Structure 1
C-alpha cells in the first residue's frame, strides 16, 4: 500500500512538471533562442498548430510542416537573434529583437533591430506581426539587394530569382550569390 501511494505521488509530481505552461514571455524567448540553437523541436513546443507571419500587408500562414520549411530557409543565413525587451500588452507580447545574419551583413544592416507583436492561441504563439524596424537604412538595403540581383542576372543567371525563393535551395542560392558577388572582379 505504501509503495502504491509513493508511486502515485511520483507520477503526479512528474506529470505536473510536464504540464507546466510557459508564460507568454518565456514562450517568445524560447522561440527566438531555439532559432539560434537550431532546435526546431523546441520551436514546435511553443507555436500553435498554425502560425501567421505578418510583414506589412503580407500575411503568410504556416502549419508546423510549412513553418519547418521557413525555419530551414532562415537557418541557411546563420541567424543570431537576441531578445532585447519583452513587454506584455493584454494577451500579446511586444518583443524587441536584434538579428544578425549573413544576409543582413551583406545588406549593411547588421544587426537588424525590430519590434514584433506576438499573439497567442491556447498559450501557443499563433501570430508574429512586424511592427517597426529600428534605424534601418532601407535605401542601402534596396541598393545592395538590387545590385546583387542585377549582377546575378548577367553573371550567374541559373541563380536568378533567389531573392523571392523561400525554400532552403533559395536560401542556399542567396548565400552563394552573395559569395560570388563579394569576390567579383
Structure 2
C-alpha cells in the first residue's frame, strides 16, 4: 500500500511541476518549425483546431489539414524572421518578415505582416493576419495576373495552379514561375 501511495504522490507532484511553455516562446517554436521544415515542431504548439483570419476571410484547419498548408508553403522555401514579439496576456502580437521564391516573383520580398496569436488551453488556436506593412498589392496583382494569363496561353496543363493549395499545386506554381521567367529572358 505504501508503494502505491508513494507512486500516486510522485505522479501528482510531477504533474504539478510541469510548466507551460510561455506564449511568446510557442510563437517562436511555431516559426522555428517552418524554418526547419519540421511540422512536428509546429504541431506541438498548435491546438487540435486552428483558425487563420485574413480580414473577412476565415480558414479553419485541423492539425492534419494544416499539414497540407505547411507542405504547400514549404515548396516556396520561405525564410521567416520574427521582427517583434509582444506578450499581451491572452494573446501575442508578432511582426513577421518572410522571404520566399513566390514573394520574390510577386515583387514583394520580403513581405512583413502584423499578426495576433490567440491561445486555447495553452496552445495556438487562432492566427489573425492584421496588416501587411510593406505590401505593394498593385504590383502583386499585376505580376500574378501576368503569370496566370501567360500560363493559360502557353502552359495550359498548369492552369489552375493559383487556386490549388496542395503540395502539387505549389510545385505547379513554381514551375509556372520558372517557365514564365525563362520565356521573358529569351
Is TM (by shorter chain) over 0.5? yes
Deviation of 1:38 after TM superposition, in Å, equals 0.8
Q: Which moved more, 1:88-97 or 1:26-35?
A: 88-97
2:105 aligns with 106
Deviation at 1:164, TM superposition (A): 1.1
Q: TM-score, normalised by structure 1?
A: 0.90
Partner of 1:38: 37
Partner of 2:46: 47
Deviation at 1:170, TM superposition (A): 0.5
Q: Which runs of 4+ in 1 moved over 6 A?
A: none
Q: Counterpart in 2 of 1:120?
A: 119
Q: Which residue is 2:55 aligned to?
A: 56
Residue matched to 2:149: 150
- Please give the TM-score of this superposition, normalised by the length of structure 2: 0.89
- Per-residue CA deviations over 1:45-87 (Å, capped at 9, x if unaligned) read 1000000111121111000110101100000010110111111
How far residue 100 of structure 1 moved from its aligned partner, in angstroms, is 0.5
Measure the CA separation in 2 of the matches of 1:145 and 1:19.
Answer: 48
Q: Name structure 1 gaps, 5 residues minimum.
A: none
User: Structure 2 regions of 5+ residues with no counterpart?
Assistant: none
Question: What is the CA distance between 1:18 and its match in structure 2?
Answer: 9.2
What is the root-mean-square deviation in Å for CA atoms of aligned residues?
A: 2.0
Give distance in 2, aligned partners of 1:165 and 1:19.
Answer: 42
